[in-house]
Amino acid sequence: MASIHIEAKVGDIAETILLPGDPYRAKHVAETMLTDAVCYNKVRGMLGYTGYYNGKRVSIQGSGMGMGSTAIYVNELIETYGVKNLIRVGTCGAIKTDINVGQVILAMSASGDSGANSAYFGSMHYAATADFELLQKAYEASKRLKINTIQGSIFSTDTFYDSDPHRWDKWEEHGILGVEMESQILFTLAKRLNAKALSILTVSDNIRTGEAASSKDREQSYMDMMKIAFELA
Protein backbone atom coordinates (compact mmCIF):
# COMPACT_ATOMS: atom_id res chain seq x y z
CA MET A 1 0.00 0.00 0.00
CA ALA A 2 1.40 3.39 -1.00
CA SER A 3 0.81 6.76 0.65
CA ILE A 4 -0.62 9.77 -1.19
CA HIS A 5 2.71 11.32 -2.20
CA ILE A 6 5.05 8.31 -2.11
CA GLU A 7 4.47 5.34 -4.41
CA ALA A 8 6.71 2.89 -2.54
CA LYS A 9 5.30 -0.29 -1.07
CA VAL A 10 5.57 -0.85 2.66
CA GLY A 11 8.99 -2.40 3.23
CA ASP A 12 10.68 -0.51 0.38
CA ILE A 13 11.95 2.23 2.70
CA ALA A 14 14.57 1.66 5.41
CA GLU A 15 14.03 2.52 9.07
CA THR A 16 16.66 5.27 8.76
CA ILE A 17 16.19 7.93 6.10
CA LEU A 18 18.12 11.01 5.04
CA LEU A 19 16.08 14.02 3.94
CA PRO A 20 17.72 16.55 1.61
CA GLY A 21 15.38 19.22 0.32
CA ASP A 22 16.52 18.80 -3.28
CA PRO A 23 15.36 15.52 -4.88
CA TYR A 24 18.23 15.66 -7.38
CA ARG A 25 20.67 15.82 -4.50
CA ALA A 26 19.05 12.63 -3.23
CA LYS A 27 19.58 11.11 -6.68
CA HIS A 28 23.25 12.18 -6.80
CA VAL A 29 23.99 10.84 -3.32
CA ALA A 30 22.22 7.54 -4.03
CA GLU A 31 24.20 7.06 -7.23
CA THR A 32 27.59 8.01 -5.76
CA MET A 33 27.49 6.86 -2.12
CA LEU A 34 25.09 3.89 -1.99
CA THR A 35 25.38 0.41 -3.44
CA ASP A 36 22.44 -1.45 -4.99
CA ALA A 37 20.34 1.72 -4.84
CA VAL A 38 16.75 1.39 -6.07
CA CYS A 39 14.47 4.33 -6.82
CA TYR A 40 11.18 3.80 -4.96
CA ASN A 41 9.51 7.15 -5.65
CA LYS A 42 9.07 9.51 -8.60
CA VAL A 43 5.75 11.09 -7.67
CA ARG A 44 5.89 14.88 -8.29
CA GLY A 45 9.58 14.45 -9.06
CA MET A 46 10.36 14.01 -5.35
CA LEU A 47 12.86 11.20 -5.80
CA GLY A 48 13.50 8.60 -3.13
CA TYR A 49 16.03 5.72 -3.03
CA THR A 50 16.94 2.78 -0.83
CA GLY A 51 20.37 1.20 -0.92
CA TYR A 52 23.30 0.19 1.25
CA TYR A 53 26.09 2.18 2.87
CA ASN A 54 28.91 0.00 4.20
CA GLY A 55 26.46 -2.87 4.30
CA LYS A 56 23.78 -0.96 6.20
CA ARG A 57 20.36 -0.42 4.59
CA VAL A 58 19.42 3.24 4.36
CA SER A 59 17.04 5.43 2.35
CA ILE A 60 17.32 8.97 1.05
CA GLN A 61 14.28 11.04 0.09
CA GLY A 62 13.83 14.56 -1.26
CA SER A 63 11.52 16.57 1.00
CA GLY A 64 11.13 19.81 -0.96
CA MET A 65 11.59 23.36 0.35
CA GLY A 66 9.84 24.67 3.43
CA MET A 67 7.96 23.25 6.36
CA GLY A 68 4.73 22.59 4.48
CA SER A 69 6.39 20.23 2.03
CA THR A 70 8.60 18.64 4.67
CA ALA A 71 5.60 17.93 6.91
CA ILE A 72 3.88 15.93 4.17
CA TYR A 73 6.84 13.59 3.69
CA VAL A 74 7.65 13.26 7.38
CA ASN A 75 4.05 12.28 8.17
CA GLU A 76 3.85 9.71 5.39
CA LEU A 77 7.30 8.23 6.02
CA ILE A 78 6.51 7.62 9.69
CA GLU A 79 2.81 6.77 9.54
CA THR A 80 2.74 4.61 6.39
CA TYR A 81 6.29 3.29 6.07
CA GLY A 82 7.36 2.96 9.70
CA VAL A 83 10.51 5.07 9.41
CA LYS A 84 12.17 5.38 12.83
CA ASN A 85 15.09 7.75 12.26
CA LEU A 86 14.78 10.88 10.08
CA ILE A 87 17.88 12.95 9.42
CA ARG A 88 17.65 16.23 7.56
CA VAL A 89 20.77 16.95 5.49
CA GLY A 90 20.68 20.45 4.08
CA THR A 91 22.09 23.94 4.06
CA CYS A 92 21.60 27.01 6.21
CA GLY A 93 22.63 30.64 6.32
CA ALA A 94 24.76 31.60 9.33
CA ILE A 95 23.77 34.67 11.34
CA LYS A 96 26.97 34.91 13.38
CA THR A 97 29.96 36.63 11.77
CA ASP A 98 32.45 34.09 13.17
CA ILE A 99 30.82 31.06 11.50
CA ASN A 100 32.53 30.25 8.23
CA VAL A 101 30.96 29.00 5.05
CA GLY A 102 31.31 25.21 4.85
CA GLN A 103 30.93 24.74 8.61
CA VAL A 104 28.82 21.73 9.61
CA ILE A 105 26.19 22.36 12.29
CA LEU A 106 24.48 19.68 14.39
CA ALA A 107 21.16 21.27 15.30
CA MET A 108 20.14 20.68 18.91
CA SER A 109 16.89 22.63 18.62
CA ALA A 110 14.92 24.71 16.13
CA SER A 111 13.06 27.89 16.93
CA GLY A 112 10.92 29.22 14.11
CA ASP A 113 7.85 30.89 12.69
CA SER A 114 5.99 27.81 11.42
CA GLY A 115 2.28 28.34 10.94
CA ALA A 116 1.80 24.66 11.76
CA ASN A 117 3.42 25.22 15.14
CA SER A 118 0.85 27.93 15.88
CA ALA A 119 -1.99 25.68 14.72
CA TYR A 120 -0.83 22.82 16.97
CA PHE A 121 -0.09 24.85 20.11
CA GLY A 122 -2.12 28.06 19.84
CA SER A 123 -0.65 30.93 21.86
CA MET A 124 1.87 28.64 23.55
CA HIS A 125 5.38 27.95 22.21
CA TYR A 126 6.71 24.42 21.70
CA ALA A 127 10.46 23.85 22.02
CA ALA A 128 11.31 21.66 19.02
CA THR A 129 14.41 19.59 19.78
CA ALA A 130 16.48 16.92 18.11
CA ASP A 131 16.69 13.37 19.43
CA PHE A 132 19.58 13.22 21.90
CA GLU A 133 20.72 9.72 20.91
CA LEU A 134 21.02 10.68 17.22
CA LEU A 135 22.71 13.94 18.16
CA GLN A 136 25.25 12.16 20.35
CA LYS A 137 25.98 9.56 17.67
CA ALA A 138 26.45 12.29 15.05
CA TYR A 139 28.85 14.15 17.32
CA GLU A 140 30.85 10.98 18.00
CA ALA A 141 30.91 10.17 14.27
CA SER A 142 32.21 13.64 13.42
CA LYS A 143 35.09 13.12 15.86
CA ARG A 144 35.98 9.76 14.31
CA LEU A 145 35.86 11.28 10.82
CA LYS A 146 37.83 14.36 11.98
CA ILE A 147 35.10 16.70 10.73
CA ASN A 148 34.69 19.88 12.75
CA THR A 149 31.10 20.53 13.86
CA ILE A 150 29.28 23.17 15.90
CA GLN A 151 26.41 22.08 18.14
CA GLY A 152 23.65 24.58 18.80
CA SER A 153 20.27 26.07 18.01
CA ILE A 154 18.93 27.13 14.63
CA PHE A 155 15.86 28.97 13.28
CA SER A 156 13.38 27.57 10.74
CA THR A 157 11.43 30.11 8.72
CA ASP A 158 8.51 29.99 6.30
CA THR A 159 9.78 33.10 4.47
CA PHE A 160 12.99 32.98 2.45
CA TYR A 161 12.92 36.63 1.34
CA ASP A 162 12.60 39.54 3.80
CA SER A 163 13.49 43.23 3.59
CA ASP A 164 14.04 43.84 7.32
CA PRO A 165 17.82 44.34 7.83
CA HIS A 166 17.49 43.68 11.57
CA ARG A 167 15.34 40.57 11.29
CA TRP A 168 17.91 38.26 12.84
CA ASP A 169 19.31 40.53 15.56
CA LYS A 170 17.22 39.18 18.46
CA TRP A 171 17.79 35.60 17.38
CA GLU A 172 21.55 36.03 17.20
CA GLU A 173 21.44 37.60 20.68
CA HIS A 174 19.81 34.42 21.94
CA GLY A 175 22.38 32.06 20.50
CA ILE A 176 20.81 31.04 17.18
CA LEU A 177 23.56 29.91 14.79
CA GLY A 178 21.82 29.83 11.43
CA VAL A 179 18.58 29.93 9.47
CA GLU A 180 16.91 27.29 7.29
CA MET A 181 13.37 26.20 6.42
CA GLU A 182 12.59 22.66 7.57
CA SER A 183 13.92 21.50 10.94
CA GLN A 184 11.29 22.92 13.29
CA ILE A 185 8.44 20.92 11.77
CA LEU A 186 10.66 17.82 11.41
CA PHE A 187 11.50 17.84 15.13
CA THR A 188 7.91 18.60 16.13
CA LEU A 189 6.33 15.82 14.07
CA ALA A 190 8.97 13.25 15.00
CA LYS A 191 8.24 13.80 18.69
CA ARG A 192 4.48 13.72 18.06
CA LEU A 193 4.67 10.51 16.01
CA ASN A 194 7.19 8.69 18.23
CA ALA A 195 10.18 8.77 15.87
CA LYS A 196 13.70 10.19 16.17
CA ALA A 197 14.94 13.20 14.21
CA LEU A 198 18.10 15.21 13.70
CA SER A 199 19.26 17.97 11.37
CA ILE A 200 22.81 18.10 10.07
CA LEU A 201 23.41 21.33 8.18
CA THR A 202 26.15 22.81 6.05
CA VAL A 203 26.59 26.59 6.12
CA SER A 204 26.16 27.70 2.50
CA ASP A 205 26.39 31.43 3.17
CA ASN A 206 26.79 33.96 5.97
CA ILE A 207 23.85 36.36 6.10
CA ARG A 208 25.87 38.87 8.14
CA THR A 209 29.07 39.02 6.09
CA GLY A 210 27.65 38.21 2.66
CA GLU A 211 30.15 35.37 2.19
CA ALA A 212 28.90 32.51 0.03
CA ALA A 213 30.44 29.15 -0.83
CA SER A 214 31.72 28.35 -4.29
CA SER A 215 30.16 25.30 -5.94
CA LYS A 216 33.37 23.33 -5.30
CA ASP A 217 33.55 24.28 -1.62
CA ARG A 218 29.86 23.55 -1.18
CA GLU A 219 30.26 20.08 -2.68
CA GLN A 220 33.14 19.19 -0.34
CA SER A 221 31.42 20.44 2.82
CA TYR A 222 28.17 18.76 1.76
CA MET A 223 29.99 15.45 1.45
CA ASP A 224 31.37 15.90 4.99
CA MET A 225 27.81 16.31 6.24
CA MET A 226 26.65 13.24 4.31
CA LYS A 227 29.44 11.08 5.76
CA ILE A 228 28.29 11.95 9.28
CA ALA A 229 24.65 11.26 8.42
CA PHE A 230 25.35 7.87 6.84
CA GLU A 231 27.26 6.79 9.96
CA LEU A 232 23.91 6.94 11.79
CA ALA A 233 22.37 4.27 9.56
Residues assigned a catalytic role: 205
Intra-chain end-to-end CA distance of the chain, in Å = 25
CA 206 and chain centroid, separation: 18
Q: Other C-beta atoms within 10 Å of 146: how many? A: 7
For 109, phi then psi, to 5°, come to -155, 165
Q: Residue 122 in 3-state DSSP?
A: coil
Q: Residue 153 in 3-state DSSP?
A: strand
In angstroms, rounded to a whole number, what is the distance separating the alpha carbons of residues 29 and 87? 14
Contact 75, 193 (CB under 8 A): yes
In angstroms, rounded to a whole number, what is the distance separating the alpha carbons of residues 140 and 83? 23
Amino acid at 138: A
In angstroms, rounded to a whole number, what is the distance separating the alpha carbons of residues 190 and 195? 5
